[in-house]
Amino acid sequence: MSNDTITQAVSDRYAKAVTSGEEMCCPTGYNHEDLRTFIPEPVLKVSYGCGTPVGLTTVQSGETVLDIGSGGGIDCFEASRRVGPKGSVIGIDMTDEMLSMARTHAPAVAANLGYPQSNVDFRKGFADSMPVEANTIDLIVSNCVINLAPDKSKVFSEMYRVLKPGGRFTVSDIVADRPVPNYLVHDKGKWGDCLSGALTLTQYWGGLRKAGFRGLHQVTFIPWRVIDGIHFLSLTLTGFKLPHEATNGHPSFATFKGPFSRVVDELECSFIRGVPQPIGSSTATLLQSLPYRDLFILSEKPVELSAQDPDWSAVLPEEAHCVWEGHFALMTGPFIEAADDDHHVYHCGAPHEICSKTLKVLSSDGYRPHFAVINRAGEGISEDSEPCGPNEGCC
Ligand SMILES: C[S@@+](CC[C@H](N)C(=O)[O-])C[C@H]1O[C@@H](n2cnc3c(N)ncnc32)[C@H](O)[C@@H]1O
285 CB-side CA count, 13 A = 14
Worst-scoring range by mean pLDDT, 134-138, 259-263, 335-339, 340-344?
A: 340-344
Average pLDDT over residues 192-203: 95
Q: pTM surpassing 0.85?
A: yes
75-83 mean pLDDT: 97
User: Residue 118 and residue 101: Cα distance in Å, rounded?
Assistant: 15
In short, whether 148's Cβ falls inside 6 Å of ligand 1 is yes
Task: Take atom 5 of ligand 1 and give the residue whose Cα is closest.
Answer: 71
Query: Cα(241)–Cα(72) distance, rounded to whole angstroms?
Result: 28
Taking the centre of ligand 1 as the mean of its atom positions, its distance from the CA of residue 142, in whole angstroms, is 9
Give the pLDDT of residue 276. 98
Instruction: Round to whole Å and give the CA distance between 138 and 123.
Output: 18
Atom 20, ligand 1: residue with shortest CA distance: 126
Mutation to probe ligand 1, out of 4, 89, 93 (largest number of atoms < 8 A from CB): 93
Among the atoms of ligand 1, which is closest to the Cα of residue 46?
9
- What is the distance between the alpha carbons of residues 196 and 179, in angstroms, rounded to a whole number? 10
Say if ligand 1 is within 6 A of residue 48 CB: yes
- For the Cβ of 191 lying below 6 angstroms from any atom of ligand 1, the answer is no
Q: Name the closest-CA residue to atom 23, ligand 1.
A: 69
For domain 245-314, the CATH architecture is: 3-Layer(aba) Sandwich (3.40)
Closest residue to atom 2 of ligand 1, CA basis: 48
Identify the top-confidence range among 2-6, 48-52, 150-154, 318-322.
Answer: 150-154
Distance 326 CA to ligand 1 centre (A): 34
What's the CATH code, domain 3-240?
3.40.50.150
Q: Are 264 and 336 spatial neighbours (Cβ–Cβ below 8 Å)? A: yes
Q: Which atom of ligand 1 is nearest to the CA of 126?
A: 20
Sheet holding 337-339, edge to edge: 270-272, 262-264, 337-339, 345-347
Distance CA 51, CA 142 (A): 9
Best probe residue, ligand 1, of 12, 141, 146, 148 (max atoms within 8 Å of C-beta): 148
Q: What is the pLDDT of residues 137-178, one digit of tens each?
A: 999 999 999 999 999 999 999 999 999 999 999 999 999 999
